Structure 1
Amino acid sequence: MSDLPRKAVSRTARLAALPLGYAGRSAIGFGKRLGGRPAETVMTEIQQRTAEQLFRTLGELKGGAMKLGQTLSVLEAALPESLVAPYRQELTRLQDSAPPMPTRTVREVIARDLGPDWADRLVWLDGGPAAAASIGQVHRGRWHDGREVAVKVQYPGAGDALRSDLRQLSRLARSMGPLMPGLDLKPLIEELQARAEDELDYQLEADAQAAFARAFREDPELGRQIVVPDVVAVGEHVLVTEWVESPASLASIIEAGTREERDHYGELFATFLFAGPELTGMLHADPHPGNYRVLPQEDGSPGRLAVLDYGAVARLPERGLPDAMGRLISICLIEDRDDLVEGLRAEGFVRDRIAVDPDLLLDYLAPFVEPMRQARFRFSRAWMQEQFRRINDPADPAYTMATRLNLPPSYLLIHRTWLGGVGVLSQLEAEAPFREILERHLPGFSPP
């Protein structure tokens, strides 16, 4: 058996073992409860061991498994503390790291993509990776014109591995549900499958990054706040961009940032999410913190925010976020129940022949538009957990309302991205002038 099939079998076996491992530990835990151990103590031990196995396996496999782990890491703020605490350390680790591939392999991929004279252009390449993620890793280098560059190299076989992992994870989604109670993994995996081919296409990524870099550089105000590195060269499996010198990512601010840093970088993060579509007609759809690097001022105070990785970018059909999105939020803020139902129905959020109570609908949506009611709003894990609890508790009226609403396909990626963005802001516990950000950058938004 060649190395490639052997590795594929190994990957599949490790993925298939994930729910079985959970079941085994659950059985052990049941035995301990019979022996007199407190149930909550046993469950915490089970979750801790499960978290360690799950995210160690996801991290080692890279590909779709690693991508799923990074997606879950953004959403952990929504889960109750009692459930997520055993997972948090492993989840946060996945936001900013992954095991590297050998330097020899890196050089072989670069030579194949950039040609035999690649070393004349890339005059220096660091042997060890500066960062590693789901389908590629980044090395620091120096271009022939003296520029420091980031060289992203796709793992050999990354495409086949990504597709295989996502197919396997899709089959296992139901049995993996108990690993993180309250999260429906199937639609998350389906979303990753839908955009997998785009993430593997480095030319598509280079085009998107170049457009973002140009748009933010040419905006006098936003260009002083947000940095998008320029594209230097691109091949089928290699992408060379300008290097961004940064001490840390948003993951480090989540873990140990000061209040000033949390608020400052949280505001820049939210600004980028909404200004990007306005300036480029595209949505950066991968909001996990490892893609955002902090650039402090020389005196150490909070400074600019650099945004990396444009593999997951949605080309928006209206050349920006939908105008109806801003209008519907505005209608919700003034509590015009009839217009709200009519507007949601027109956009496909309420299907034909589905009746909804306007008062219950407004009650359901009110907490979600709360950040736009105040001049400044502080996101928090507690706030996000409460919203998550409402829509997942069958005894809460919000649960019934959620089952009667529909998510139109045109809003699917916008919804997923914004949910992830709120997750990051809640992890940061950031306070931001959210209403002002939307007034400036969201079409159709006109608050009372």
Structure 2
Amino acid sequence: MSDLPRKAVTRTAKLAALPLGFAGRATWGLGKRIGGKSAEIVGRELQQRTADQLFKVLGELKGGAMKFGQAMSVFESALPEEVAGPYRAALTKLQEAAPPMPTRTVHAVLTERLGADWLDNFREFEDKPSAAASIGQVHRAVWHDGREVAVKVQYPGAGEALLSDLNQLGRFARLLGPLIPGMDIKPLITELRDRVSEELDYELEAQAQRAHAEEFADDPDVHVPDVVHQCDQILVTEWIDGTPLSEVIVDGTDEQRDRAGQLLARFLFSGPARTGLLHADPHPGNFRLLPDGEKGWRLGVLDFGTVDRLPGGLPEPIGTSLRMTLAGDAEAVYELLCTEGFVKETIELEPDAVLEYLLPIIEPALVDEFTFTRGWMRSQAARIADLRSPAHQLGKQLNLPPAYLLIHRVTLSTIGVLCQLGATVRLRDELESWVPGFATGEDDATLGEETAG
């Protein structure tokens, strides 16, 4: 591939071809059925072709298109199995790789940002990238002091590409909706677009990564590589090896899956309490499972380009509403949701119906340990997506306040990864340890009895 396609008209044409391609394949499928092939076989072929085109285009364009694809990728566990199969392979490719920038472009950016003698900063520098993401790619190198480092180089024109893609994707969000049942695509695209400037700012990313690296420096469970150097369009951090979570999802052992799942949940909930920041890009490409003698495995965390700033940790109403829902206190839960803006003043709902809607979703917090599966995720998605179900009708009337939007997406995304892992996790332990309002002394001790009663 040549340079990142930057001209808006070129990128728009590629993305605009996607819905036309969907329509064309539907016509092709009808023809095949008339020709005698079974609907099931044709349906699978159709899904495979759709997956191939969608993620080929998203991966080639990088920018906002690939960022959207990565955000979507953690929800593949919500798809029916006969549909998920073809998508899974394409999504896994997208999580870990994209066509690289030409070497000449990489060298040009390094020369512009570090000077003509940029190579003097390194003892070694690998021109072939080790990873490619939505707005930059990573090169393995050895810093002048001997440390192994990861050098992230931002694609020229990445900002323009991000905005162009996300604006175009927003125009046909309805067509993308059926990809993930029960999920409204448009707010996701809007939220990704609103965070473009932060995503492009490597200084902000360096600050967030340093804060995490300092806080987790001696942590036995989580490792965050430190920042070595940062300037405009260039971010140099310590290198970490380990097994990408995408590989653990494909062929990890039960021990690896459970350990990765537990540590992912721990990092999600402990991060805001310890740093005042929420890592907001939890797709599997951003995590590594690192061998560790004492515990067996640690979780390596990468890419702090998108974070939610939560100076007081996660909002206390999250923990309080969870605790009250598990206790079956419908009136108190409904009152809190109204106060926080989850139920608009113009809407009136039945508290017991709201409780019934919420309980299946928070089932993992009800028990000491819970096994996350694709089947469980599919059942939740189907319950909310079914136009005839009470859950769908009630869900449409609930509101998601802006302050909770990113927290909601990150939590859902993390649950999606846990389901991909098939991990057995003691989620309640993490909630009790890190989420304000969830564990409140005597109330917590009787929580299980109240729920059972």
Fold in common (TM above 0.5): yes
Specify the SS of the correspondent of 2:161: helix
1:274 to 253, 264, 269: 269
Query: How far, CA to CA, are the matches of 1:354 and 1:23 in structure 2?
Result: 38
Query: How far, CA to CA, are the matches of 1:330 and 1:4 in structure 2?
Result: 48
Query: How far, CA to CA, are the matches of 2:277 and 2:252 in structure 1?
Result: 30
CA-CA distance at 1:395 after TM superposition: 2.0
Query: How far, CA to CA, are the matches of 1:86 and 1:126 in structure 2?
Result: 34
1:293 to 288, 300, 303: 288
Specify the SS of the correspondent of 1:303: strand
Residue 22 and residue 181 in structure 1: after superposition, are their counterparts in 2 closer, same or farther (change >3 A)? farther
Q: Is residue 2:386 matched to residue 1:397?
A: no
Q: Is residue 2:403 matched to residue 1:410?
A: yes
Q: Percent identity?
A: 56
Structure 2 equivalent of residue 262 of structure 1: 257
Query: How far, CA to CA, are the matches of 2:6 and 2:239 in structure 1?
Result: 36
Residue 91 and residue 150 in structure 1: after superposition, are their counterparts in 2 closer, same or farther (change >3 A)? same
Per-residue CA deviation, residues 287-327 of structure 1 (Å, 9 max, x unaligned), is 0000001112369x8411110000011112x4310011100
Query: How far, CA to CA, are the matches of 1:4 and 1:445 in structure 2?
Result: 46
Asked whether the 8 Å contact 1:265–1:302 carries over to 2, the reply is: no
1:322 to 315, 318, 323: 315
Q: Is residue 2:164 matched to residue 1:164?
A: yes
Query: How far, CA to CA, are the matches of 1:56 and 1:297 in structure 2?
Result: 37
Out of 433-442 and 174-183, give the one that drifted further.
174-183
Structure 2 equivalent of residue 241 of structure 1: 237
Asked whether the 8 Å contact 1:285–1:314 carries over to 2, the reply is: yes
Per-residue CA deviation, residues 43-100 of structure 1 (Å, 9 max, x unaligned), is 2111111110110111111001111111111111112112222211001111111111
Counterpart amino acid of residue 123 in structure 1? R
Counterpart amino acid of residue 230 in structure 1? D
Structure 2 equivalent of residue 333 of structure 1: 326
Query: How far, CA to CA, are the matches of 1:4 and 1:377 in structure 2?
Result: 43
In the TM superposition, 1:424-439 aligns within 5 A as: 424-439=417-432
Counterpart amino acid of residue 110 in structure 1? L
Q: Is residue 2:188 matched to residue 1:188?
A: yes
Asked whether the 8 Å contact 1:280–1:319 carries over to 2, the reply is: no
Residue 178 and residue 378 in structure 1: after superposition, are their counterparts in 2 closer, same or farther (change >3 A)? closer
Structure 2 equivalent of residue 360 of structure 1: 353
Query: How far, CA to CA, are the matches of 2:200 and 2:254 in structure 1?
Result: 37
Relative to the length of structure 2, the TM-score reads 0.93
In the TM superposition, 1:118-157 aligns within 5 A as: 118-157=118-157
CA-CA distance at 1:427 after TM superposition: 0.4
Query: How far, CA to CA, are the matches of 2:73 and 2:5 in structure 1?
Result: 30
State how many pairs are aligned: 439
Counterpart amino acid of residue 275 in structure 2? T
Per-residue CA deviation, residues 4-53 of structure 1 (Å, 9 max, x unaligned), is 98854332221111110110110111122223322222121111111101
Asked whether the 8 Å contact 2:5–2:11 carries over to 1, the reply is: no
Counterpart amino acid of residue 277 in structure 2? M
Structure 2 equivalent of residue 369 of structure 1: 362
Residue 225 and residue 241 in structure 1: after superposition, are their counterparts in 2 closer, same or farther (change >3 A)? same
Query: How far, CA to CA, are the matches of 2:421 and 2:51 in structure 1?
Result: 22
2:304 to 295, 300, 310: 310
User: Which blocks of at least 5 consecutive residues in structure 1 are unaligned?
Assistant: none
Residue 6 and residue 355 in structure 1: after superposition, are their counterparts in 2 closer, same or farther (change >3 A)? closer
Asked whether the 8 Å contact 1:83–1:180 carries over to 2, the reply is: no
Query: How far, CA to CA, are the matches of 2:316 and 2:422 in structure 1?
Result: 29
Counterpart amino acid of residue 245 in structure 2? L
CA-CA distance at 1:152 after TM superposition: 0.2
Query: How far, CA to CA, are the matches of 1:340 and 1:10 in structure 2?
Result: 50
Asked whether the 8 Å contact 2:99–2:132 carries over to 1, the reply is: yes
Asked whether the 8 Å contact 2:210–2:227 carries over to 1, the reply is: yes
Counterpart amino acid of residue 91 in structure 2? L
Counterpart amino acid of residue 404 in structure 1? Q
Query: How far, CA to CA, are the matches of 1:288 and 1:74 in structure 2?
Result: 6
Query: How far, CA to CA, are the matches of 1:293 and 1:186 in structure 2?
Result: 30
Structure 2 equivalent of residue 85 of structure 1: 85
Per-residue CA deviation, residues 349-385 of structure 1 (Å, 9 max, x unaligned), is 1111311112111111001221111111111111111
Asked whether the 8 Å contact 2:4–2:61 carries over to 1, the reply is: no
In the TM superposition, 1:342-361 aligns within 5 A as: 342-361=335-354
Relative to the length of structure 1, the TM-score reads 0.94
Query: How far, CA to CA, are the matches of 1:282 and 1:179 in structure 2?
Result: 30
Query: How far, CA to CA, are the matches of 2:40 and 2:321 in structure 1?
Result: 43
Specify the SS of the correspondent of 2:151: strand
Asked whether the 8 Å contact 1:22–1:179 carries over to 2, the reply is: no
Specify the SS of the correspondent of 1:296: strand
